[in-house]
Structure 1
């Protein structure tokens, strides 16, 4: 439960940063700082206790720890990609992002055997891959393993983290390329409101509302895709919702009231109705 709490706390903090900070480089800097602190707490927790069984140790290094480390790899890689991004037209930047995607493909090709093992849910080699001190040089270990604290790393726990991080990186790069492809100025409405409405609540609240509206099917008789509704809300409020899919996952994992914003809307509307009745 302690590790789960640490992970939930980390996810909430990263989700807040992802939604509230638009500058990618600053976002990555803040995220890396938070993840390093979280990993430090995780390491202290592991040092204080002993695993009750080999299965528990495997579960930690195969399933739990990579969820922390993968985030560090992910944000660090994005930071490097964005700080090294060439200055130039869309053609130059597009070529740059495609090259980064190609590097990911090379990684997956080089790790194909282990990638298949991990993705297909195999476990017959877990006792070598995810138990401390049980390394085999024949399994093409990363140099990182030999430089690490052997009490907090196994032969392949870092590889799992890289696979998880690279899956996210692939989505990030593909989104960047799609964004460039769709970067066409849309015509403004012929009837423009005199006062622009700016969303001043949190982005998390707007994501909660976005999913509620989509679930209710209020646009185009329920035929509108979630992505289309998100784009519309971003255009209307001149706001960037970022990776709203991940934000929704964090909303789902909330303890207590998972629909805080919608609950607040309901309570305040009822209060207004009651006040109107009294007057």
Structure 2
């Protein structure tokens, strides 16, 4: 059993690797992997139903360790396929909200199966004879409806749940990587493409005006945090903004010189467009 199974899994992994090199992480890739994994799973099922198990220990080992290796791949690639197929169009905020919602689905599964997670991850064995032996289920052990609809000649009460745990761990890594990549790309774009080309004093004047008017977080943001955010946005170091603002306050003429110039520039642009 061990030799046959590990050769089959190795062959499946090789096929997936070749497809990934050929197709990349595309929807077509995920569809193809799902189909070849289903085919391998049918092979395994046929082998098990024909050969059976030599002992109870071998049966437990198969449903606890072996079968979940293949089924988890099916769940994982199907999960990623659905995430990518349903991914909305839009900006970073829309994508982040969508991916965060997918993470919340994984968390709900974890919360609903916390006791079994503990059992599995602590390598406990005292309930293996109920969890991983066919026809030996216990209705009191939080069985999923899926189990009653499955082929019980090739399923136990909890082998699918282990597959789900393995797959969810991988899906979580995938989603978090997507979030990190998106965030990093967004920051890189900002740092490369936006540079403040006015004076530091002008930007400090703008920061204090935004803060005084309460238009950022309803005014509930510390002036230093606001300044740091705009420093990062415009790729500039403003230095001591408190000292700069002190100099602005003590101007003898036009204390809001930059804001006045903004008003003049915008008014002029609007007047020019009205004349066209």
Shared fold (TM-score, shorter chain, > 0.5):
yes
Aligned residues: 187
* Whole-angstrom CA distance in 2 between matches of 1:162 and 1:27: 21
Out of 161, 164, 177, the position equivalent to 1:162 is: 164
- Quote the offset at 1:17 in angstroms: 2.1
Partner residue of 1:54 out of 12, 36, 56:
56
SS of corresponding position for 2:123: coil
- Choose which of 158, 169, 178 in structure 1 pairs with 2:180: 178
Partner in structure 2 of residue 126 of structure 1? 128
Q: 1:175 to 1:19 in 2, by over 3 A?
A: farther
Is 2:114 the partner of 1:88?
no
> The residue matched to 2:53 in structure 1 has which SS?
coil
TM-score normalized with structure 1 length: 0.65
**What pairs up with 1:70-85 in 2 under 5 angstroms?**
70-85=72-87
Q: Which structure has more RCO (C-alpha within 8 Å, separation ≥ 6)?
A: 1
Q: 1:103 aligns with which of 95, 102, 105?
A: 105
| TM-score scaled by length of structure 2 | 0.66
**Structure 1 unpaired stretches of 5+:** 188-279
- Which whole-Å CA distance do the structure 1 matches of 2:97 and 2:114 have between them? 25
List gaps (5 residues or longer) in structure 2: 193-276
Q: What is the 5 A alignment of 1:221-260?
A: none
Q: Provide the rounded CA distance (Å) in 2 between the counterparts of 1:138 and 1:24.
A: 42
Deviation at 1:47, TM superposition (A): 1.3
Higher helix share: 2
After the TM superposition, which segments of 4 or more aligned residues of structure 1 sit over 6 Å from their partners? none
Residue 143 of structure 1: how far off its partner (Å):
1.1
Equivalent of 1:40, from 39, 42, 48? 42
Q: CA deviation at 1:20?
A: 3.0
Distance in 2 of aligned mates of 1:81 and 1:139: 31
Distance 1:102 1:20 in 2: 32
- Larger Rg, first or second structure (1 or 2): 2
Q: RMSD of aligned C-alpha atoms?
A: 1.2
1:122 counterpart SS class: coil
Whole-Å Cα distance in 1 between the matches of residues 24 and 65 of structure 2?
A: 30
- For residues 83-126 of structure 1, the C-alpha deviation after alignment (integer angstroms, 9 at most, x for no partner) is 11111111100110011111111111110000010000000000
CA distance in 1, matches of 2:67, 2:111: 24
